[in-house]
Amino acid sequence: MTFFLPLLIAAALLALAYSAFNFFKVKNLEEGNETMQKIAAYIRGGANTFINIEYRILAVVVLIVAAVVLFALDWYVAVALLLGSLMSALAGMVGMKIATYANVRVTNEANKTKNIGKTLQVAFRGGSVMGLCVAGFALLGLSVVVVVFGYVLGWLKPEHITETVNATFTKIPLVRFPNVLTGYALGCSMVAMFNRVGGGIYTKAADMGADLVGKTEAHIPEDDPRNPATIADNVGDNVGDVAGLGSDLLESYVASIVAAIALGFNLVIKVKVPSVSLAPLYVFPLAFAAVGLIACVIGVASLLVRNISKSKKVHSQLNGATYVGAALTMAGGAVLAWKLFGTLDASACAKLGFKLGALSPWIGAAVGIVAGIVIGMLAEFYTSSDFNPTKILAEASKEGPALTITSGLALGMRSCMAPCVVLGVGIIVAYYTAGLYGVAMSAMGMLSFVALTVSVDTYGPISDNAGGIAEMSQLEEGVREITDTLDAVGNTTAAIGKGFAIGSGGLAALALMLSYMYSLPGEAIAANGLPTLNIMEPMTLAGAIVGGALPFFFSGMLIDAVAVAARKMVEEVRRQFKENPAILEGKADPDHDQCIKISTQGSIGQMKVPALMAVIIPVVCGLLFGAHFVGGILIGSTVSSIMIAIFTGNAGGAWDNGKKYIEQGGIEGAGKGSPVHDAAVVGDTVGDPLKDTVGPCMDIFIKIMSTVSLVAVSVFAEYNLWNVLFK
DSSP 340: H
Instruction: Give the closest residue to 156 by CA, choosing from 176, 135, 184, 132.
Output: 176
Overall number of domains in the chain = 1
Alpha-carbon distance values, 617 to 23, 37, 370, 551, 620 (Å): 40, 46, 34, 12, 5
Angle at 464 (CA atoms; ends 458, 469), nearest 5 degrees: 125
Per-residue pLDDT of 119-166, as tens digits, reads 888 888 998 999 999 999 999 999 999 889 888 888 877 777 777 787
In terms of average pLDDT, the best of 350-359, 490-499, 615-624 is: 615-624
Residue 233 confidence (pLDDT) above 70: yes
- Cα distances (Å, whole numbers) of residue 383 to 85, 367, 448, 460, 647: 34, 24, 25, 15, 11
Task: Report which residue type is found at 293.
Answer: L
Helix (H) or strand (E) holding 175: strand 173-175
The predicted pLDDT at position 687 comes to 87
The answer to whether the CB of 248 falls within 8 A of the CB of 277 is no
* CA nearest to 382, candidates 417, 433, 350, 351: 417
User: Would you say residue 498 has pLDDT above 80?
Assistant: no
Its pTM surpasses 0.85: yes
Of 534 and 23, the structure prediction assigns the larger pLDDT to 23
Using CA atoms, how far residue 492 sits from 35, 384, 386, in Å, is 30, 6, 10
- Backbone torsions φ then ψ of 153, nearest 5 degrees: -85, -10
20 pLDDT more than 90: yes
Q: What is the pLDDT of residues 38-73, one digit of tens each?
A: 888 888 888 888 888 888 888 988 999 899 888 888
**Separation in Å, CA 193 to CA 58, 103, 263, 698:** 10, 25, 24, 10
Name the least confident of 367-381, 442-456, 499-513, 551-565: 499-513
| Run of H or E residues at 164 | strand 164-166
475, pLDDT greater than 60: yes
| % of the chain exceeding 70 in pLDDT | 94
Distance of CA 677 to the CA centre of its chain: 31
Sign of CA dihedral 495, 497, 500, 505: negative
Residue pLDDT, tens place only, 600-617: 777 777 777 777 788 888
Per-residue pLDDT band at 189 (split at 50, 70, 90) = confident
Provide the pLDDT confidence category of residue 259 given band limits of 50, 70 and 90. Answer: confident
The span from the CA of 243 to the CA of 245, in Å, is 6
User: Do strands 173-175 and 164-166 pair parallel, antiparallel, or not at all (unpaired)?
Assistant: antiparallel
| CA 40/CA 26 separation, integer angstroms | 14
Give 275's pLDDT tier (boundaries 50, 70, 90): low
- Cα gap 488→661, rounded to integer Å: 10
Task: Say how far apart CA 436 and CA 428 lie, in whole Å.
Answer: 10
Q: State the number of CA atoms in the 13 A half-sphere of 27 facing the CB.
A: 12
Mean pLDDT calculated for residue range 80-86: 93
**DSSP 8-state assignment for residue 710:** H
- Residue 494's Cα: distance from chain center in Å? 11
Q: In this predicted structure, what is the pLDDT of residue 491?
A: 66
pLDDT tens for each residue of 293-321: 999 999 999 888 887 767 667 777 777 88
Q: What is the pLDDT of residues 502-550, one digit of tens each?
A: 777 777 777 777 777 777 765 555 555 566 677 778 888 999 999 999 9
Amino acid in position 217: E
